[in-house]
Amino acid sequence: MEPTHEPGDVMAAAMVPPIVGRLDPSGAIAEAAGRARSLSRRALLAGALAGGIGLVVVPAGTSAKGSKAGDVAVLNFALTLEYLQAAFYSEAERRKALSADNARAARLIGAVERTHVAALKGLLGSDAVARPFFDFQGTTENDADFVKTAVGFEDFSAAAYQGALVHLGQAELIAGAASIHTVEARHGAWLRFLQGVVPAARALDEPIDAGAAMRLVDSTGFVRERPRTEAHTSPAFAG
């Protein structure tokens, strides 16, 4: 595999949903979208901001840096990404539509992401955001879409953890976030290898901030509103 330009670059740039373009005159979100370059075309086309969902985010440059409330927000951001990944891989396993290497990756990586969900929920206790509903729009049902979407998720999660690291206050949380960040980077490389693209395209990886990350998640259309029949005293997500 020669380290050439990323095959998804051109496609991703063209696939930024129009609503994101209207919200993003400076192009910062489009640039972030370009980084999660392996999200499938169908997913990107399907997604306006799904159902008006705004997931709980840590605003860039939050002044709650280092405070417990700040750490809770960062951890919930991480938990949201883990919910997304865990659900994706779980569904891929259930669909049983993947070839051997991809199915194995879905099984092993999914188990790890589910472990991450459990760990973060354990840390957060009653402060944990609830699991959203997802619609992966067929991307778990064939090899090409699976691996492209999975690469997008993993690269993107790694970058998000990398961005979140420096916003955490407590030493144990920094160590924990670092220990997950590198696992997500491994996953990204693993899936890129399966996809046939260079597993490490650059000498240095860059972070993505939480705001851009959540807008990107929104733009995929994978996240759906909870059914209104669910009884919750407080909303799972802030707008």
Partner 1 sequence: MRLDDGGPGLSRAQALRRGSAALGVVCVGGVCITGLATRAVSAGSRAGDERILNFALVLEHLQAAFYAEAAGSTAFDADVLTFARTAAAHEKEHVALLTRLLGAKAEEAPAFDFGDTTSDQAAFLRVATALEDLGVDAYNGQAANLGRAALAQTSRIVSVDARHAAWIRSLAGEVPAPEAVDAGRTAKAVMADIARTGFVQGQG
Which residues of the shown chain bind partner 1 in the complex (CB under 8 A)? 1-3, 108-109, 111-112, 115-116, 119, 158, 162, 165-166, 171-172, 174-183, 185-190, 193, 198-200, 202-207
Q: What's the closest the beta carbon of residue 109 comes to partner 1, in angstroms?
A: 7
> Which residue intervals of 125-167 are DSSP H helices?
143-165
CB 92 within 8 A of CB 106: yes
C-alpha–C-alpha distance, residues 236 and 126, integer Å: 12
Q: What's the closest the beta carbon of residue 160 comes to partner 1, in angstroms?
A: 12
End-to-end Cα distance, the chain: 43
Query: Please, which residue, 19 or 166, has the CB nearer to partner 1?
Result: 166
Query: Please, which residue, 2 or 25, has the CB nearer to partner 1?
Result: 2
In terms of C-beta density within 10 A (0-12 exposed, 13-18 middle, 19 or more buried), how is residue 102 classed?
buried
CB 198 within 8 A of CB 2: yes
Query: Please, which residue, 15 or 164, has the CB nearer to partner 1?
Result: 164
Phi and psi dihedrals of 189, rounded to 5? -65, -40
Q: What's the closest the beta carbon of residue 76 comes to partner 1, in angstroms?
A: 19
CB count in 10 Å sphere of residue 201 = 17
Query: Please, which residue, 144 or 175, has the CB nearer to partner 1?
Result: 175
Q: What's the closest the beta carbon of residue 56 comes to partner 1, in angstroms?
A: 23
Q: What's the closest the beta carbon of residue 166 comes to partner 1, in angstroms?
A: 5
The residue among 80, 51, 104, 228 whose CA lies nearest residue 156 is 80
Phi and psi dihedrals of 61, rounded to 5? 70, 30
Query: Please, which residue, 117 or 214, has the CB nearer to partner 1?
Result: 117
Q: What's the closest the beta carbon of residue 129 comes to partner 1, in angstroms?
A: 21
Burial 34-54 (b: 16+ CB within 10 A, else e): bbbbbbbebbbebbebbeebe
Query: Please, which residue, 130 or 198, has the CB nearer to partner 1?
Result: 198
Q: What's the closest the beta carbon of residue 163 comes to partner 1, in angstroms?
A: 9
Query: Please, which residue, 62 or 137, has the CB nearer to partner 1?
Result: 62
